[in-house]
Every structure is written in structure tokens, then in C-alpha cells.
A and B are shown apart, each in its own frame.
Chain A
Amino acid sequence: KNQVEQSPQSLIILEGKNCTLQCNYTVSPFSNLRWYKQDTGRGPVSLTIMTFSENTKSNGRYTATLDADTKQSSLHITASQLSDSASYICVVSVPWNNDMRFGAGTRLTVKP
């Protein structure tokens, strides 16, 4: 069973709209939680990184939240753009070797 579950699997929104992606994890203990953006045919690129003691982290139009008690994180995208079309991956790191446990990702499509 995957230790990091993401929902929805895919999402289609209109340009300019907001959206929220969800991540539930069972990895424990963990050192940090990251959100990555992966464009088709490219490697993942980091958006945010939060330690277990942080609740929120922003990067431009991207805002990640973390609730370590419920083991949930979300990524909120504001005023979406066509270039936001990509897969968004939630990653939880274990502390002993910085091993990263990846979710399967949410495929976001932004349409004009």
C-alpha cells in the first residue's frame, strides 16, 4: 500500500480559477513534506518544502498546508494559468536517509 495517497487523480479547471490538491500520508516519523511539479517529459521540480512543525508555505501562486496531526497536506493554486498544466506530486521524506516517498500525483489540466 502506498504510504502517500493523492486526490484527485486528475483535475480539469478553467484558466483563472483556483484549485486545491490533497495529500494523505502514513509515513511516520517524517522529516519534511514537499510538493513537486512535473511537466510532461521532464523531471520533478520543487515547489515547496515544509518541516513537520510548519503549517503553511507559499511560493508565488502556490500555497501548501500541512496538518501533522491528521497527516494531511494540501496544495492550493490561485488564479491558474495554462502553464500550471502538469502533474503535482506530494513527497514525504523519512529522517534516517532522506529517502523520499512519492505519491502517484494529481494530473492538472488548465483549459482556456
Chain B
Amino acid sequence: NAGVTQTPKFRVLKTGQSMTLLCAQDMNHEYMYWYRQDPGMGLRLIHYSVGEGTTAKGEVPDGYNVSRLKKQNFLLGLESAAPSQTSVYFCASSYSSLYTEAFFGQGTRLTVV
């Protein structure tokens, strides 16, 4: 089983460029999440989805958009990248139950210059 797969693993963008990060899970999970991890801070929730076709804002949504057109995929978009978006991005998925494990992808290291 692949689990949670993120694409790409590394990316360097110039300020103002756009890109899309792809998260794919093969566990039939309802919930999917996008987090960013910055040095000295805990992971912070950007956006999340509780099912196909639904998305919601998390703690730090500004500058990002998401889509969940298929249950297995959750896309994170940056329309106009800024240096403040330099970070490591993690996707996670879980069943809807409150007491089940969340599985994380390997992360995408994004640098905006």
C-alpha cells in the first residue's frame, strides 16, 4: 500500500509564480488535511476536507486554495507564491472517526525566492 503520497517532494518557485501540490491516498479515507511546518513551530492547518467535494479553512488559509474533486486526491494551490510561503508542507488523511490514526505523507519542501 502506498498510503499517502505527495507530489512533488521538492520545489523552488520565484515570487509570484503559481503551483499545485498533489496529495493522493489509497486508504479510502474521508478526511484529508494540508499542514505547513516551520522551524520551531508545530504543524499548522491550512485547509482540510471532510469528504469529496467539500473543503474548509484551517488556521492559516491565506494565500492558498484547495480542491477535493475526487475522494482520493486533495490539491493545494498557491496562486501567487510569496517568500513567507517557504515551508515544508504535509498532507494527512484519516477516517472520520475521532479515534483513528491520521497518516501523513513524506512532505514537500517548497522554497520561494
CA distance A100 to B31 in the complex (A): 12
Inter-chain CA distance A51–B102, complex, in Å, is 14
Q: A102 with B42: in contact, given A43-B4, A45-B104 (CB under 8 Å)?
A: yes
When distances are taken between beta carbons in the complex, the residues of chain B under 8 Å from A103 are: 42
A57 vs B94: C-alpha distance when bound (angstroms): 20
Residues of A near B90 (CB, < 8 A) are 43-44
Enumerate B43-102 residues with CB–CB distance to A below 8 Å.
43-45, 48, 50, 56, 58, 90, 92, 94, 96, 98-102
Residue of B nearest to A30 (CB): B98
Inter-chain contacts of A2 with B (CB < 8 A): 41-42
Decide if A22 is an interface residue (CB 8 Å cutoff).
Answer: no
Total number of B residues with any Cβ neighbor in A under 8 Å: 28
A-B contact count (CB 8 A): 61
Task: Indicate if A32 sits at the interface (CB-CB under 8 A).
Answer: yes
Check A42–B107 contact: CB distance below 8 A. Answer: yes
Inter-chain contact A105/B56, CB cutoff 8 Å: no
Q: Which of A67-112 touch B at CB < 8 Å? A: 89, 93, 95, 97-105
B106 at the interface (CB under 8 A from A): yes
- Residue contact B94 to A41, C-beta cutoff 8 Å: no
CB-based nearest B residue for A43: B104
B residues adjacent to A (C-beta < 8 A): 4, 31, 33, 35, 40-45, 48, 50, 56, 58, 90, 92, 94, 96, 98-107
